[in-house]
Amino acid sequence: MRSASRQSDGVQARFNDGLTTAAHAVEIVLAADAIHFTHEGEAQNWPLDAVEVEPLGPTVRLGHPGDAARLVVSAEVWREICSARPAIEQRRRRRASALVGGLTAIAALAAGLIFVGVPLAAGPLARATPPELEAQIGGNLEAQIGLALPTCTGAAGQAALSKFGQRLQQDPHATFRLRVRAVDAPMVNAFALPGGAILVTGDLIRMAETPDELSSVIAHEAAHVELRHVMQGVWRSFGFGVVLDALVGGGTGAGQQAVLLFGSFTSLRYTRQAEVEADRRGQALLQAQGYSSQGMASFFERLAAKHEGADARMVKELISSHPDTLRRARASRAHGRPGLPAFSVADWAAIKAVCKIPPKKGFLAHFPR
């Protein structure tokens, strides 16, 4: 038998398929965990851990479990193969470690973009966003939300809310026109959208006991619009979506769909500082029109109490999006000022019935006369 000879990319050996007596010259290539070769155009892969070795003096015969096929190589070459295997395994581990390190670095960069870069850039980006673009974004979001949260049908109540939004916006040259309306949703919440839309849920209207409480909540959301906090939230969510798109495959839109699907408007959270700023500005908007700004404290105090009691599920959404409720309630009470109610008796009755929710017995007793 002719001894196997070393080649640049493999080792010459003889192969017998176990079906005939014919021997075929093949070239075997060693990997970290297997011997690879090709016979009659068909790739063969023999795991090294399973190879059966039979010394035959100057040669070694290699077998494959469950197969009559055999490979014959020189004993010297086989010793070289065995000695080279640790070095090959070490190189494979180094490549695996480099891959893990690269993926870790990418993950760290993505985390930095999400948790540091995007939040830091959100404020400047929001202030630089053209009003026309913000209004367009808000219109798109409002249309999507409208598919899930229909507008309440009480025309008189909607008209009263709309008029209040117009009165609250004291600057006739304001960037955005406030548009307040009630929506039918199984949660206690109010939220602003880019461009000036403010949506108030029927459950929140039902829970408000006085005109002062409801007007304070609406004024708080109006302040978010004026201070461009809403657009900051959009930029943060947009940034998360862009990073997610990059991770799952750019151009798929998966990140943006995730932002809309997983929480939609409720994903546009504000920072604690933004909430404090909106509290103060909202009270200032009410006071500038001569309205009472004392309602927010009582409303949030009652929400905090319900959050710990039997009605916890009902108020969970508003509590989660407006943290530090009791602390903010105390601060709002300190800054609150008395004034006129934001709604007349007739308007208040219409608002309470806007989502076909019967008013609580005796609710007019809370109305300042």
Vertex 185 angle, CA 321 and 315, to 5° = 40
User: Which residue is associated with the tokens 């640790």?
Assistant: 86
pLDDT at residue 309 is higher than 60: no
The pLDDT assigned to 9 comes to 53
pLDDT at residue 41 is higher than 60: yes
**CA proximity to 115, closest of 229, 231, 240, 228:** 240
DSSP 117: I
Sheet holding 52-56, edge to edge: 42-47, 34-39, 24-30, 11-16, 67-74, 59-64, 52-56
Q: What is the pLDDT of residues 66-79, one digit of tens each?
A: 788 888 988 887 77
pLDDT at residue 178 is higher than 70: yes
At residue 267 the predicted structure's pLDDT band, cuts being 50, 70 and 90, is very low
The pLDDT assigned to 125 comes to 73
pLDDT at residue 120 is higher than 70: no
37 Cβ contact partners less than 8 Å away, ≥ 6 residues apart: 10, 13, 15, 26, 27, 28, 29, 43, 44, 71
- Mean pLDDT value across residues 40-63: 84
For residues 172 and 200, the model is more confident at 200
pLDDT at residue 310 is higher than 90: no
Average pLDDT, the chain: 76
- Mean pLDDT value across residues 214-230: 92
- Mean pLDDT value across residues 28-43: 82
Beta strands in the chain (DSSP E): 11-16, 24-30, 34-39, 42-47, 52-56, 59-64, 67-74, 179-183, 190-192, 197-201
The pLDDT assigned to 109 comes to 61
At residue 159 the predicted structure's pLDDT band, cuts being 50, 70 and 90, is very high
Q: What is the pLDDT of residues 195-206, one digit of tens each?
A: 899 999 999 999
The pLDDT assigned to 111 comes to 54
Looking at CATH, the fold of the domain delimited by 11-82 is given as: PH-domain like (2.30.29)
At residue 164 the predicted structure's pLDDT band, cuts being 50, 70 and 90, is very high
Q: What is the pLDDT of residues 121-153, one digit of tens each?
A: 666 777 777 888 888 888 888 888 888 889 999
Q: What is the pLDDT of residues 356-368, one digit of tens each?
A: 754 444 433 343 4
pLDDT at residue 242 is higher than 60: no
Q: What is the pLDDT of residues 277-298, one digit of tens each?
A: 999 999 999 999 999 999 988 8
pTM: 0.58
pLDDT above 90: percentage of residues in the chain: 25
The pLDDT assigned to 202 comes to 94
For residues 179 and 88, the model is more confident at 179
Rounded to 10°, the helix 345-352/155-168 angle is 120
- Mean pLDDT value across residues 214-234: 90
Domain residue spans of the chain: 11-82, 129-366
pLDDT at residue 1 is higher than 50: no
Tell me the one-letter amino acid at 325: T
The pLDDT assigned to 350 comes to 96
For residues 231 and 284, the model is more confident at 284
The total number of residues shown for the chain amounts to: 369
The pLDDT assigned to 281 comes to 92
pLDDT at residue 4 is higher than 80: no
